[in-house]
Amino acid sequence: MMKNKLLTKLLLTLLLTSFCSAGMAVTDKDELLESQTGIASFFHDKFHGQRTASGEPYDKYDLTAAHATLPFGSLIHVVNLKNNQSVDVRVNSRPHRSNKRLLDLSKQAAKELGFVQAGLTKVKLTVLRFGEA
């Protein structure tokens, strides 16, 4: 009976550990970095110069992004899953609460990912470095 309880606890611990690590990638430095997939859009030109959620002005020529939860200053690698183009951007803002997209990118980032004409695209992001929150 005692062996069954111990075995059950061990299996439950292993299951929870493997479940909690889903969606994570291990780097050479053994840091856990998050990956996510979803829809990206980009900020309209009318927001150029306006304050972002981090307090800095939005610059449509910078490689920046708005993400709902990643800390400001996080560096993320974004891949356009429709054409395989990629860019590294820094998180400096938050999307509007009603926005269900994964990322809102600067216009320059959207150009480098090749989706300015389309307006939206499916992307995969990988966190390269977490910012100081």
Domain assignment of residue 5, yes or no: no
What is the total count of domains within the chain?
A: 1
Mean pLDDT, range 84-104, rounded to an integer: 93
Q: Which domain holds residue 66?
A: 24-129
Task: Please write the tens of the pLDDT for every residue from 3-48.
Answer: 556 545 544 454 444 444 334 433 333 345 689 999 999 988 898 9
Domain assignment of residue 9, yes or no: no
Domain assignment of residue 87, yes or no: yes
Mean pLDDT, range 51-69, rounded to an integer: 94
Average pLDDT taken over every residue of the chain? 82
For tokens 């990118």, the residue is 105
Residue 113 has pLDDT above 80, yes or no: yes
Task: Report the b/e string of 3-31 with b at 16+ CB within 10 A.
Answer: eeeeeeeeeeeeeeeeeeeeeeeeeeeee
Domain assignment of residue 11, yes or no: no
- Strand 103-105 relative to strand 32-42, pairing: parallel
Q: Where are the extended beta strands (E) located within 6-131?
A: 24-26, 32-42, 64-66, 75-80, 86-93, 103-105, 121-129
Are 56 and 76 in contact by the 8 Å Cβ rule? The answer is no
Tell me, what CATH number does 58's domain have? 2.40.40.10
Are 128 and 75 in contact by the 8 Å Cβ rule? The answer is yes
Kindly indicate the confidence band of residue 102, based on its pLDDT and cuts at 50, 70 and 90: very high
